[in-house]
Structure 1
Amino acid sequence: MKLLLRFSRIIDRLNAAIGESVSWLVLVVVLVSSANAVLRKTMSMGSNAALELQLYLFAAIFLLNGGYTLLRNEHVRIDVLFVRLSERKRMWIDIFGILVFLMPVTLITAWLTLPVLIRTYVGSEHSASAGGLLLWPAWLLVPVGFALLFLQGLSELVKRVARLRGIDLPPPPGAAAAAPPDPLEVLAEARLPGERA
């Protein structure tokens, strides 16, 4: 189990590093979008390549952060019933979901995109728009992103099994030590000078 947990920590660190790095692409998207809009409105110099670059960057943010989002347990869930279950039952449900849904979907998606990636790379295909970018970098993001999500699924599976065996785990890399206080709660609890408790 120690070897598997070590492997899990390596995957966690990999996805944390990629997720934190890729998050900076949001700023790049804003800058590219703003520059393109200003050039288009002021000098009539809009660029199809810049518009496509925005899409490529957005795809990178979305696809390469999937593993990081799973690491942080921030994927959308419907927790109406889940939160009422014991921790042990939640672990078993997570294991089932990882094995039956997450892993097969990530493997199939990565596998099915490989032929398209190879075709666009070998053929040096460009998008159909004038001045369009090469297509293969965008297609490369799909199998890489789903591979990172698959690896994080393996890591989460190892951690769930470890928890079922009673092993305490440290918080994932990049996890906040404590959530900041909600400003509305702070204001609601605040008292005016001279006010009694």
Structure 2
Amino acid sequence: MSFFKGLCRWIDTLNIWVGRGVSWVTFLVVIVVFTDVVMRYAFNTSFVFIQELEWHLFAFIFLIGAGNTLLNDGHVRVDIIYQRLSPKGRAWINFIGVIFFLFPGCYLIIATSLKFVYNSWSIMEGSPDPGGIPYRYLIKSCIPAGFILLLLQGISMGIKSFFTIIGKDMETENKS
């Protein structure tokens, strides 16, 4: 039990720290978008680099922040049934969802994106547009990285759900 508790704590802490970093990138997006809007409407000009930077930062936020969002139960779901269930019922839904949907989905995306990312790194892919960002391979690397963080958080959620199902509370369980 202590191994699983430590593993969950490590995964949760990792995604908390990643989430804090992503929150600063969110602040950076606000500055970049504000700058783009001011440049476009006040000076009637725009730069491809700034526009690409906006979507690169958005992609980074959503991909790398997904694990933290799962940790904080922030993903969208229809709570008509879920909210009325007992903690054990919620744990069953979470456990089944992790095993049958999250794990296979993450595996599929990680496995299929690795060659895609490798090819991008091998040619040091950049923007095809003049004045665009020359480091497109970096944002493509966020695809498997983000899904690895999401998969790790799914492992933590699955372990916690399993222990709730069998009646063990990981938070208050005495060390054995």
Q: Is TM (by shorter chain) over 0.5?
A: yes
Q: Which residue does the alignment assign to 2:81? A: 81
Deviations 1:13-42 (A, max 9, x none): 000110122112121111112223323444
Q: Which residue does the alignment assign to 1:142? A: 143
- Count of aligned positions: 171
Q: 1:39 to 1:169 in 2, by over 3 A?
A: same
Q: Which runs of 5+ in 1 are unaligned?
A: 172-197
Q: Which residue does the alignment assign to 1:176? A: none
Q: Which runs of 5+ in 2 are unaligned?
A: none
Query: How much identity, in percent, do the aligned residues show?
Result: 34
Query: 1:2 deviation in Å?
Result: 1.2
Q: Which residue does the alignment assign to 1:185? A: none
Alpha carbons 2:7, 2:156 under 8 Å: kept:
yes
Deviations 1:85-141 (A, max 9, x none): 332222112111100000110111011111111111111222221112122111011
Q: Which amino acid aligns with 1:140?
A: S
- TM-score with structure 1 setting the length: 0.80
Output aligned runs, 1:111-190, within 5 Å: 111-133=111-133, 134-170=135-171
Q: Which amino acid aligns with 1:11?
A: I
Q: Which residue does the alignment assign to 2:31? A: 31
Alpha carbons 2:87, 2:164 under 8 Å: kept:
no
Cα distance in 2, alignment partners of residues 42 and 92 from structure 1: 55
Query: 1:44 deviation in Å?
Result: 4.8
Cα distance in 2, alignment partners of residues 73 and 42 from structure 1: 41
Cα distance in 2, alignment partners of residues 33 and 21 from structure 1: 19
Secondary structure of 2:79 counterpart: coil
Instruction: Give the helix-richer structure, 1 or 2.
Output: 2
Cα distance in 2, alignment partners of residues 106 and 100 from structure 1: 11
Alpha carbons 2:5, 2:170 under 8 Å: kept:
no
Secondary structure of 1:119 counterpart: helix
Q: Which residue does the alignment assign to 1:56? A: 56
* Structure 1 stretches of at least 4 aligned residues deviating more than 6 Å after TM superposition: none
Query: 1:71 deviation in Å?
Result: 0.6
Cα distance in 2, alignment partners of residues 54 and 150 from structure 1: 26
* CA-based RMSD: 1.7
Q: 1:38 to 1:82 in 2, by over 3 A?
A: closer
Output aligned runs, 1:77-116, within 5 Å: 77-116=77-116
Cα distance in 2, alignment partners of residues 79 and 99 from structure 1: 20
Cα distance in 2, alignment partners of residues 117 and 108 from structure 1: 14
- TM-score with structure 2 setting the length: 0.89
Q: Which amino acid aligns with 1:52?
A: E
